[in-house]
Structure 1
């Protein structure tokens, strides 16, 4: 009788230990959901694997000036490659640089202004940084891309999409502009948490 009791007790303890170990393994493998708001991201081009970057070094006058170009570059750890998504209303966000309080913005004139070489609604209008404001050319919306963890970024004012120049997309310094939406991966982006390296999904 004693031996049966001992065997039963041993089995119960074994099951308990196995259950705790299984729970522990589950906690280790479970991914933590990344919030869009409040997280600092690197923005990686889905085609080339290069990252959104403000031209010039993070502490330079150039990188902190209105109208400075946005490009692709290898990851270098600079604050000019780090961005936050700041709510702008109706599902749109300001994409704000972390080296200075500046937003991604579309270059050019607003409609109705005469004698302007480029308008903010033009296909191919350049993307730049500008002092943080509330204007629609500084607002962007995430739309799901063609694979999990990939996104299109749609400009509120123009209705066009953040795009890396396809002919140079594998090169450092590849220009970033706006274009019409299609399935090409040079127009799709991955948001990578700076702290964990995990991609944002929704």
Structure 2
């Protein structure tokens, strides 16, 4: 019986010790994680509206971290920054008036004009007024997957840099998903 008590006491000490070591080990592991802006593209990248909510703000790629600036709502062809939807000044993805390769994509107050109406087709996000033309224009990210890469328009080519997955409010570049 005495041996059983000593064994039980030893097991209890081991369990308590293990439970106090785990949080310290977890804290050490977390301390070694790189900062979000230095992570590689081995993780998914998302469309990112930055923190600014002013007309003309450039839309970029950024590693998906779940911030409000990476969450969008699609509403009647408008792609709205989620935290502005339902406010007095909802902000939308806007293609400007240019329909040339490399034209910027920006945020602009939602006014439902042709610059802001999009269609999602086979993973491509196409500016609606170009669909039935000889050169439909898609959201495009070029060859870079780095944080801060500007999102632009480019003739739809069915390439990986124009393929997106929309899930849980995030617009992710498909070729960065595992």
TM-score by length of 2: 0.62
Residue 128 of structure 1: which of 88, 102, 106 is its match? 106
In the other structure, the counterpart of 1:164 is 141
> Larger % of helix: which?
2
Asked if structure 1 preserves the Cα contact closer than 8 Å seen for 2:72 and 2:169, the reply is no
In the other structure, the counterpart of 2:79 is 95
What does 1:2-81 correspond to in 2, within 5 Å?
A: 49-55=44-50, 57=51, 63-81=52-70
Asked if structure 2 preserves the Cα contact closer than 8 Å seen for 1:121 and 1:157, the reply is no
Asked if structure 2 preserves the Cα contact closer than 8 Å seen for 1:48 and 1:186, the reply is no
Asked if structure 1 preserves the Cα contact closer than 8 Å seen for 2:43 and 2:63, the reply is no
Which whole-Å CA distance do the structure 2 matches of 1:160 and 1:48 have between them? Answer: 27
Which whole-Å CA distance do the structure 2 matches of 1:139 and 1:156 have between them? Answer: 6
Show structure 2 runs of 5+ residues with no match: 1-41, 85-89, 131-135
In the other structure, the counterpart of 2:168 is 193
Name segments (4+ residues, structure 1) moved above 6 Å. Answer: none
Deviations 1:61-96 (A, max 9, x none): xx1100000000012222111011101xxxxx1001
In the other structure, the counterpart of 2:127 is 155
Distance 1:67 1:140, change over 3 A: same
Asked if structure 1 preserves the Cα contact closer than 8 Å seen for 2:141 and 2:162, the reply is yes
Show structure 1 runs of 5+ residues with no match: 1-46, 58-62, 88-92, 110-119, 145-150
Aligned alpha-carbon RMSD (Å): 2.2
